[in-house]
Amino acid sequence: MKNNRQRPHSIKRHLTITTVCTVGLMMFISWLLVYSEARHEINEVYDARLGQSAKTLALSVMNWGDQPPNNFTQSYTHWLNAITANAKDDDTTTPFGHPYEDNLFFQYRVNDALIAKSPNAPVQWIGTSGNPGFDVVTAAGEQWRTFTLVFALPDERQASLLVAEKEAIRQELMTEVSLTIGLPQLLLIPLLALVMVVLVSRAFKPLGELKDTIAARSIDNLDHIHVAQPTVELAPLVKQLNYLFSQLNNAWVREKRLVSTAAHELKTPLAVLRLNAENALSAATKAERDNDLTNILAGIDRTDRVIQQLLMLSRVEQQKTRESTHVDVVSLLREQIAALVPMALTQQQSIELEGRDLLWVKGHPVMLSVLFTNLIDNAIRYAGEGASISVVTSCSANTVVVAVIDSGDAIPDEIKSRIFDKFFRGHTEKGDGAGLGMSIVKDIAEQHQASIAIRSPYFSDHGNGFTVTFPIASVYESR
């Protein structure tokens, strides 16, 4: 089967190759520009020299007419031979001139007759008739750059003077200039590659350190990451990783706490259920068996209550990272009261909602439902048979207040001081939970920047009031 997995992409290798290739390309473009500019400047200088040489010669030959000096050819030939005899190579200068003079010549004619020339010049006129100035011609299998100067002799006859130079001389100079500039650049490319490998490796060292630090983390070690060489680029990544590790650690702690709590809280009711079941099996009379079965049902109810509170705790913990929204607490209270009315009726209790019709707070609807459900459920369970329960809403310029008030017995001071502690059950004879309900209420209130207060006795000698004060939402509306 064909493997469609894409090979891992090396940023380090890509960065090194891209940089070296880019710099190499820039060097090549630079070399082309230098070559072009050098070619232009060399042609200008050499053309200026041809023009200057032609004018200097023209001033001399104007006195010849069509009769050059008798020793002209002999002297010119002697000088060229002396250069050849004294020069060891093309780079040697002599008292008679430079070997490169062999690559230069001139021709002088009057009307159509060739009057004088350099010893190394062709015997035939190579210029183009009627085309003075610069030109490129081919002679003796070589290309020559020529400059032709047309002028009038004192006797009104027309004379032409052509000065020529091998194109190869210019090309050689251009090549040497280009190699002088280009070769060092070419040799710099491997050095650049080596430098880039070293620099990129050093630059990526913090990334390798970060990788090793992350590799050292496990589910039992979710401490924050600290990089010995912090960088601006890695700082956001390290910050985000630390945030994720913190969230993961919190989730892991919650999971362990939930498992530990569940094991602790379910151990006793399950043991009681087992004991009652064994007693029911060995009961001697129907009355004893019925009593044991009744105890089993009560134990099942308490176990169910414990499980519900544990699930509620887990749900609240999971909702902590959810984004908040605007919530109408009055509408939310109506829903929770409607759901709990049947429980209140079983104890002949009355429950009512008083106050505003519309109040907005910013929060999590699910968590707020849990908060209100726990407060109202707590009042129903502990207020006693025939009690009255009121849920009162109000607001001020900056706050929204929800109060759950019952007419039951006042909470003793020793219970009131610990009522929000986890796993604390103040009325063990009445309660059947895990002691988590009020601690969950407090956690949710704190997550919503709300405060919760107890007033007991609420009336002169009885009653209890739990008041939750929220910051008012910016989109608050009332009617």
Half-sphere exposure of 441 (CA within 13 A, CB side): 24
The type of residue at 314 is S
Beta strand 158-166 with 133-139 is unpaired
Q: Beta strands 325-328 and 350-355: pairing type?
A: unpaired
Question: 322-479 is classed in which CATH architecture?
Answer: 2-Layer Sandwich (3.30)
DSSP state of 102: G
The CA distance from 118 to 316, in Å, is: 108
Alpha-carbon distances, residue 142 vs 132, 139, 160, 161, 428 (angstroms):
20, 5, 22, 20, 119
Q: Residue 422 in 3-state DSSP? A: coil
Cα pseudo-dihedral 344, 347, 348, 354, rounded to 10: -30
- CA nearest to 361, candidates 478, 479, 470: 470
Residue 204's contacts (CB-CB under 8 Å, 6 or more residues apart) are: 11, 12
Residue type at 334? R
CA 369, 371, 374, 380 torsion: positive or negative?
Answer: negative
Q: How far apart are CA 419 and CA 431, in angstroms?
A: 13
Burial per residue of 13-23, b for 16 or more beta-carbon CB atoms within 10 angstroms, e otherwise: eeebeebbeeb
Domain ranges of the chain: 11-180, 217-321, 322-479
201, amino acid identity: S
**CA separation for the pair 165, 106 (Å, rounded):** 9
Range 11-180: architecture per CATH: 2-Layer Sandwich (3.30)
Residue 77 is predicted with a pLDDT of: 77
Beta bridge partner(s), residue 80 = none
Q: Which residues pair with 389 in a beta bridge?
A: 351, 406
pLDDT score for 479: 41
- pLDDT tens digit at each of 479 positions of the chain: 455 556 676 777 777 888 888 888 888 888 788 778 877 888 888 888 888 888 888 888 787 777 777 777 777 777 777 777 777 777 777 787 777 777 888 888 888 888 888 888 888 888 876 678 888 888 878 888 888 888 888 878 888 888 988 888 888 777 777 777 777 777 777 887 888 888 878 877 777 777 777 887 777 777 787 777 777 777 788 888 888 878 787 777 767 766 665 665 566 567 767 877 888 888 788 888 888 788 788 777 767 766 766 666 666 666 555 667 888 999 999 988 888 888 888 889 999 999 888 888 888 887 888 888 888 888 888 888 899 999 999 988 889 999 999 998 888 877 777 777 665 555 544 544 445 667 778 888 888 888 998 888 888 888 899 999 999 876 544 44
Tell me if the domain spanning 217-321 has CATH number 1.10.287. yes
Q: Tokens 């030959």 map to which residue? A: 61
